[in-house]
Amino acid sequence: MLGPYRSFEIVSPESNQTLRPAPPSLPISLLLDPPLMVGHRLELWLDGMPIETEGPIGTQVSLRGLSLGSHWAEARILDAAGIVARSAPVTFHLREPLPPGVIP
């Protein structure tokens, strides 16, 4: 659901991407065109729960302390009445490093 936006998607991490070893801080990058309109705000959801932040969320967010395993992220644009636009969900996987000599 794009609402008044031409593009709104999570571009990083990529859909179904496996990150090995899991990074201590995971960057989430959003593509938004046109830029966020007046009266709208961004919200990021991880595994079905909104991410709590101090202050507004921008198109670049860094998440810390994620557990190993599979996760899904979704971004939303809201106004005073509710959801204006929603990105497609992106699933990504955080894994332990492989032992030396093992090829994925």
Name the band, by pLDDT with cuts 50, 70 and 90, for residue 102. Answer: low
DSSP SS3 for 21: coil
* Chain segment 12-30, per-residue pLDDT in tens: 999 999 998 888 889 999 9
**Do 94 and 19 form a contact (C-beta atoms < 8 A)?**
yes
**Lookup: tokens for 29:** 């990058």
> Distance (Å, rounded) from C-alpha 55 to C-alpha 51?
11
Neighbours of 103 (CB within 10 A): 4
The position carrying tokens 């809201």 is: 78
Pairwise CA distance, residues 36 & 66, whole Å: 27
Question: What pLDDT sits at residue 104?
Answer: 66
pTM for this prediction: 0.85
Instruction: Output the pLDDT for position 23.
Output: 85
Q: How big is the chain by its Cα radius of gyration, in Å?
A: 15
Higher per-residue confidence, 3 vs 62? 62
